[in-house]
Structure 1
């Protein structure tokens, strides 16, 4: 007697890019259903609008101080969305064993983190576009280098999302994650445009300039005005597109450096299992 043996066909594997795209669609759907996420979006737009409703004095090139402050706050869009949203939802998913099941199911961390980063970057660009609309409505004109502005907003979403993911190992649940996220959010908002730069001592200004929110704010101010503001507003001068990008290299380097450092930290310390495990 011969016994026929059947072989189960191996399940086709899905490429990393396709997994990332599918997870991005899932993250988008969940983001749209998450009421707290809408609060993050409203808060980011509100912080841009507030300086525009305050009196300001001309600083350079027809740009007033309140308009430059609003542009600086545009550099903090990803701070609010990137730190606030992932820290909350990924802590909740970890404690509900969702992350553990995804890990056991073979979902690569790069696809999962890439998906939430894409969502943060996408919604940050939407808020930035609305912020530009507010700037135009108050007579600030159109951005002189919109590519630099969009590049800064999209790039800043990466380290900010990584920072939000790094908060999850410190939190036991979604509520405590919200509280833990407030300290870095307030620090980055403070350094990114909430307070006028002129109120800071030089040494404090130099330290703040090394933070990602400040670097992003400078890139956005330079991209919108076409002025080299990376050495401060005093003596800022209009330059060509090539010279502007050359002057922006240190700020771009700051963002890439933070992306590398925080990316390594997430890879090493991100927790997939619940805290009680």
Structure 2
């Protein structure tokens, strides 16, 4: 009898413990599979691609040499491409999983919080990078321009996708169902979309307004993408923008990078503090 009872315990003790990193990567692969199955997720993907099509129909006035306002709007879309997927998708699927007790079951089974949040964030990052490659190809075809500093462009897409993923997760405590999460997510999504420099080029606004919008995460990411693409120090406004070398450009970009990191940290802290694992009671 004692032998029979100790055998399962021995087997459980001998079972290898999966590291949080490995769990995150495995869950990320699952997230990709589920993303391609969700019709709503594909809608968010289509909207993200649509952000690149809007600037193509805008009138292009030269702003920075041969770079036009339409080009700047298209470049800004690369910095904020994670806005649509990052806010829309995590808020939708995590609310649905919470209400169907999937999240609670995963937490009880020992899946760490870092793996759950990290997998959806990594998926959004990779999807945003893939869509940004499409934007680079479109801009190369239209104007023949390529980024002067690809690393800075990569950083802008990365930080934007991370911050928007955390914001999407932060929305889930406010929603009861996946449908209501979609409606709730539209409020910050539309606000950040219209102030990010994609649909409405920020070059149309006075520099004082542009500087105020620069403190928003999508606008900061768009400005970082524009600097990386044009090689101009655009962080103080387009009228005073001057060409800069890569070291000088990185020094000028430090405050903007700090803004994106601060937003990411704020959204993460609030998500960890207020995220709900149990279904909301009627």
CA distance in 1, matches of 2:6, 2:133: 58
Deviation, 1:174, is 0.5
Alpha-carbon offset, residue 196 of structure 1: 2.6
Q: Secondary structure at the match of 2:63?
A: strand
1:113 aligns with 2:117: yes
CA root-mean-square deviation:
1.5
Deviations 1:25-60 (A, max 9, x none): 111111111122121121111111211222211111
Distance of aligned partners of 1:262 and 1:146 in 2 relative to their CA distance in 1, 3 Å threshold: same
Report which stretch shifted further, 134-143 or 159-168.
134-143
Q: What is aligned with 1:229?
A: 234
- After TM superposition, give the deviation of residue 200 of structure 1 in Å: 3.5
CA deviations over 1:10-39 (Å, ceiling 9, x no partner): 132111111111111111111111122121
Corresponding position of 1:12: 16
Partner of 1:39: 43
The alignment covers a number of residue pairs equal to: 276
Is 2:282 the partner of 1:265? no
Shift of 1:203: 4.8
Identify which range, 117-126 or 72-81, moves more after superposition.
72-81
Deviations 1:97-153 (A, max 9, x none): 000100111110101100000000000001100001110111241111111111110
Q: TM-score, normalised by structure 1?
A: 0.95
Asked if 1:211 corresponds to 2:216, the answer is yes
| Distance across 2 between alignment mates of 1:65 and 1:198 | 7
Within the candidate set 77, 84, 92, 1:80 is matched to 84
SS of 1:192's equivalent in the other structure is coil
Shift of 1:235: 2.2
What is aligned with 2:200? 195
Contact 1:85-1:164 at 8 Å conserved across structures: yes
Query: For the Cα contact (< 8 Å) 1:73–1:189, is it kept in 2?
Result: no
Structure 2 residue aligned with 1:254: 259
When structure 1 is superposed on structure 2, of 89-98 and 50-59 the one drifting more is: 50-59
- TM-score, normalised by the number of residues in structure 2: 0.94
Structure 2 CA distance for partners of 1:201 and 1:54, relative to 1, 3 Å: closer
**Are residues 1:180 and 2:184 paired?**
yes
Report how far residue 63 of structure 1 moved: 0.3
CA contact (8 A) 2:173 2:275 kept: yes
Alignment partner, residue 244 of structure 1: 249
CA contact (8 A) 1:67 1:140 kept: no
2: CA distance, partners of 1:266 / 1:70: 31
Query: Aligned in 2, Cα 1:226/1:3: closer, same or farther, shift over 3 Å?
Result: closer
Match of 1:94 in 2: 98
**Structure 2 Cα separation of the partners of residues 91 and 3 of structure 1:** 45
